Amino acid sequence: MAGAEVHFNMDTIVRATQLRELLLPGLGAGKLNPALSFDIVDSICSANNFDALLVLEAFDSDQRNSQTSYAISALANSAINGNLPDLTNAPSWTDIYISMNWRLYDNKRKIILDEAIIADRFGTDRYRYDVADFAKRDGIQACSYIGGRVYASRIYPSRIRLYRDFFRRSGPELKMAARMMDVGDLEGAKDAWFNLTKHHKRKVAGRACYNTAVGFELEGDVEAALEWCRKSFTIYRIKQAKNYASFLMNRMNQIIPQ
pLDDT in tens, 155-167: 787 777 778 899 9
The helix or strand, by DSSP H or E, that contains position 245, with its residue range, turns out to be helix 240-254
Q: 147 CB contacts (<8 Å, ≥6 apart)?
A: 3, 98, 100, 118, 120, 122
pTM of the predicted structure, to 2 decimals? 0.54
172-254 CATH: 1.25.40.10
Closest CA to 173 of 151, 140, 196: 196
Helix (H, G, I), strand (E, B) or coil at 90: coil
What average pLDDT does this structure show over 205-233?
94
pLDDT digits (tens, 9 = 90+) for 2-59: 878 887 787 777 788 888 777 766 666 556 778 889 999 999 999 988 888 988 888 8
**Domain range list for the chain:** 2-155, 172-254
pLDDT for position 87:
53
- Bridge partners of 112, per DSSP, are 105
